[in-house]
Amino acid sequence: MNGGSCLWLYGSEARGDSDPLSDVDVLAVGTQNQRIEQGLPPGAVVSRYSWTEVELMASTGSLFLLHVKTEGKCLYESRDVKGRLARLLGDLPEYKYVARDLTGFRLVADDVEESARQEEGDLYFESSLIAATIRHACILACYILRLPCFGRTEPVARAVALLQLDPQIANDFFDLYRVRLCTERSKDDGPGATWQQVRLWSSRLQKVLDELDRIKNWEFSLPTHAR
């Protein structure tokens, strides 16, 4: 049963907090249905997976699928796969790649630190990377602390509060994230960036990762009733 397809909306459009810088995020599973996908708004960002891939992701407790589960809305599903994705989302196990993600975040943080130290590379690209990595690290932290959220800046605000990190990280994060959004969308009216700011954010990213490292095994020490 691999012929059917479904489309789910997720992200800011699904949450109802989109703004002019928002994408329309869509998950497409199964064979491409051009007739249905033509109805999507122009510029929709479609993440496309086969059923086999989605099942594999589900078996690892994918945070992306948890994201879709938390806020997603089914836009379309063909009759032969009715309820199939919802069933997969309803039965997600614990996320298996906490340690692996942390290793990846560390590598990115070290790369950015090196670029900032040498003032080599592109300021906006490095700023964008820090923004994305802090957000992903905070999404993971919120998940570990059993309060998952997936908004643009909400995971950072929540993780900073829960982990008692410097509140300035959450206060300033919106501006950093705007650098990322404006850079990715080639908008010229975005906020500026300096190497000094990149160095500051690079050290903030390291602090977030240190905290994530500290709590990464938390799930195993939580009593069952607290999960």
Partner 1 sequence: MSLIELKTGNSRCLRMLDKVTETAEILDNAYAFRSRLGRLVLASLSLVADREGFPRPKYPGPWHIPECAEGRNAAVADACQAVFQLSSLACQPSEPLDSRWKATWASLKVELAALKLALEGME
Residue 122 lies near partner 1 (rule: CB under 8 A): yes
64 binds partner 1 (CB under 8 A): yes
Nearest CA to 133 out of 194, 81, 80, 207 is that of 207
Residues contacting 61, CB < 8 A, separation 6+: 92, 93, 94, 95, 96
Instruction: Confirm if 143 and 102 have CB atoms less than 8 A apart.
Output: no
Distance (Å, rounded) from C-alpha 187 to C-alpha 182?
5
213 touching partner 1, by CB under 8 A: no
Does the protein bind partner 1 through residue 108 (CB under 8 A)?
A: yes
Site string for partner 1, 21-40 (x = CB under 8 A): ----x-x-------------
Q: Is the dihedral of CA 100, 104, 106, 107 positive or negative?
A: positive
The verdict on 166 binding partner 1 (CB under 8 A) reads: no
Per-residue interface string for the shown chain with partner 1, residues 172-191, x marking contact by CB under 8 A: -----------xx-x-----
- 213: helix, strand or coil: helix
- Footprint of partner 1 on this chain (CB under 8 A)? 25, 27, 45, 47-49, 53, 56-57, 62, 64, 67, 97, 100-101, 103-105, 107-108, 111, 115, 120-122, 124-125, 128-129, 136, 183-184, 186
